Chains A and B, each alone.
Chain A
Amino acid sequence: MPLIKDRREVDDIWAYVPDEADLSPGGCITVSLARFRSETELLLARNTEIGVRLEPADDPHELEEFLDRLTLIEIDFPKYTDGRGYSQAQLLRRRMGYEGELRAVGHVLRDQILYMNRSGFDAFETERAELPSVLDALEEFSAVYQPAADERVPVFRRRHGKD
């Protein structure tokens, strides 16, 4: 599945380990929040990088104290109509100041990517959208009405020469 990060197509070096599977000895892995919660010590003691995958009902605050130890947080969109992931992303980026990779996975479609990017996602694992189409989607609007995690300057400031 293509992975687009920072507006480029990149190789995916990460693997998600389902809860019932054994942790592989090497390589970068992500696990569910539940697994991270129950095996925190073990996971953080690995000398590979570690990430967590959030499902829509998960509370991102549970990760707050570990944020500087995580390289990747994946937010899953089992159905793209379930918009909880946008709030999780905003909370991680803006409330808690998470600076690592924030990746949208699951049902990620071209027409949601702009909103995802504005909410703080910098990486998108998309089934069908090709890079040029994703880049177009990110540029469809030249101005925005409200501040968000992407730090584009809203028009209510640009109108008054503030940026």
Chain B
Amino acid sequence: MYRYDEFDTRIVKERVEQFRGQVARRLSGELKEDEFKPLRLQNGVYLQLHAYMLRIAIPYGQLNPRQMRALAEIARKYDRGYGHFTTRQNIQFNWVALKDIPDVLADLADVEMHAIQTSGNCIRNVTSDHYAGATKDEVMDPRPWCEIIRQWSTFHPEFAFLPRKFKIAVTAAEHDRAAIKVHDIGLNMRRKDGEVGFEVHVGGGQGRTPHIAAKVSDFVPESELLDYLEAIMRVYNRFGRRDNKYKARIKILVSETGEEEFRKLVEDEFAAQRTAEKIALPQEEIDRIHAYFEPPKLAAKPANSESFEKAKTADAGFARWTRANLHPHKVDGYTTVTVSLKPMGVAAGDATDDQMDVMADLAESYGHDDIRVSHAQNVVLPHVALDDVYELYRKLDAAGLATPNEGLISDMIVCPGLDYCNLANARSIPVGMAIQEAFSDPDDQADIGKFHINISGCINACGHHHVGHVGILGVDRKGEEYYQITLGGRADEKAAIGQMAGPGLKADDVPVALKRLVDRYRELRSSKDETFIETFEREGMEPFKDAIYAGA
């Protein structure tokens, strides 16, 4: 993975000192809260219902064991013993005192981490495929370009006060695990005539007006990527709406301007860049960054591991876990392991300080020091030898980290909802738990197969309900919580916004309605291999809508 050089180290340390000064000026009253707000936001500090929240960047979701231990230490020392991994491959701490935050940031700087631009109306942490560099289905490793984008966007002087926040995601795989079509900019890496380049999608997003991104370019060669991004950013900074917070995202600019016209604005801006304005990243720098992402040296192994096969026969629980939580690795004899942060009864994405330490230890012992955070709020160990998987599993299990549900119905994305969030209309976490309860039988889950339920407590859509196969949105009707169900959403290469099934349900009715929905799917699927979303796309809304409301 990328390691800081003297420049990166210095910049991050200088940032800590700068923020220390800003906090001091705020505490002394020299800075007013409204002037301090964007400064703290650009350092990841939010004011929440109960306390300040600190959001720390995990660039493109990658971290090493030392960094994971530093996060565990922050949870122990400054928070209440846990952290919350987010859908943007970040981690949040919910109970940190403002006066401590400069110290937390200093501790982070020691392990090459920061909270820069994790909130505020600027370019946020770049996200990517959590299997990058390990998965069979990628054209190349997207992380070097994520790092290049991270550096370019860090303290970009022109784009720190955009109309609204700005999120970039990059993938290089056939199957899009980075949800690029619901990002402000989504980049899909490809090769054309031997040249590396990017398909560019702009204007995707969720929130109250969900949009699937428009394809603005089929191929921007890598040598021009940053210039092209600057062109998009400048068009957005100049012309994006600033009169209404809810219309300020680039998705609204693209849809109000029209795709054609927007593309022309970007192309014109790009064409007008003079030679002197071009970023002209030297090839040595591109090579320098790529060198950090050389694949780990994996000893040659046979494709099949005897010990692995034996353990599966002997231990049914292990066998079930391997069916859900492993993903094929590029290299024979290795696999990619998902550590589920979605056991029953725990808020999605939460991990305790001890669990973080365990994950760090295991990544060291079995995982070539590589850890990822997925946008589904799980943790991934990308490079594990099949021979080691059983031992790894037993240790994960002992730490409560071996829930066999990656991608299954109980692996939900759930926002904090009314329990923590002042914007919420309804609770999300208890509804998620009730659904997990209804589908608690692991064999039942395995039989249902891939099934994404996403839950948001209000229309801001932090829980990505628009792109869940089943989306659940909390609404408030005369002081009572109701839940609207959407069906058919997806965030992958076939991205779609879910369609509303009908009137909202009461919390108690949601799990039973989903039971009926799942039963209908089992009746209708053409084979066990047809996933719910495929059956839905073939059969349409009617049969599922009938199932949901059959009890009404």
Q: Which residues of A contact B (CB under 8 A)?
A: 56, 80-84, 86-88, 90, 94-95, 109, 111-112, 114-116, 118-119, 140-148, 155-160, 162
Contact A83 B160 (CB under 8 A): yes
Complex alpha-carbon distance, A141 and B288, angstroms: 23
Interchain Cβ contacts under 8 Å between A and B, 15 examples = A80-B35, A83-B159, A84-B237, A86-B159, A88-B238, A95-B273, A119-B158, A141-B11, A142-B14, A143-B11, A145-B151, A146-B156, A146-B279, A156-B285, A159-B5
Q: Tell me the bound Cα distance from A141 to B15 in angstroms.
A: 8
A86 x B155 contact (CB < 8 A): no
Bound complex: CA of A9 vs CA of B279, how far in Å?
Answer: 33
Q: Complex Cα distance A145/B281, Å?
A: 11
B157 interface contact, C-beta 8 A: yes
B193 at the interface (CB under 8 A from A): no
Are the CB atoms of A160 and B162 closer together than 8 Å?
A: no
Q: Is the CB of B11 within 8 A of A160?
A: no
Q: How far is the CA of A103 from the CA of B324 in the complex (A)?
A: 60
Question: Looking across the interface, which residue of chain B has its beta carbon closest to that of A85?
Answer: B161
Q: Which residues of B contact A (CB under 8 A)?
A: 5, 7-8, 10-11, 14-15, 17-18, 22, 35, 38-39, 121, 151-152, 154-162, 226, 234, 237-238, 242, 272-274, 276-277, 279, 281-282, 284-285, 288
**Nearest 9 interchain pairs by C-beta:** A83-B161, A118-B157, A115-B157, A155-B7, A156-B285, A86-B158, A145-B151, A160-B284, A143-B7
Q: Chain A's nearest CB lies how many Å from the CB of B232?
A: 12
Contacts of B22 in A (CB 8 A): 111
Residues of A close to B277: CB separation below 8 A = 94-95, 147
Asked whether B161 lies within 8 Å of A144 as measured between CB atoms, the reply is no
Candidates A95, A112, A116, A160; contact of B285 at CB < 8 Å: A160
B273 to chain A, nearest CB (A): 8
Partner of A159, one of B14, B18, B285: B285
**Distance (Å) between the CB of A62 and the closest chain B CB?**
13
* Beta-carbon contact of A81 and B155 below 8 Å: no
Q: Nearest CB to that of A141 among chain B residues?
A: B14
Question: Given known contacts A84-B237, A87-B238, A159-B5, is B157 in contact with A148 (CB within 8 Å)?
Answer: yes
Which among A88, A95, A141, A160 is the interface contact of B155 at CB below 8 angstroms? A141
Pair B161/A81 contact, Cβ less than 8 Å = yes
Measured between alpha carbons, how far is A101 from B157 in the docked complex, in Å? 19
Contact indicator B157/A84 (Cβ below 8 Å) = no
- Nearest residue, chain B, Cβ from A155: B7
Given A86-B237, A146-B152, A148-B157, does the pair A81, B38 have CB atoms closer than 8 Å? yes
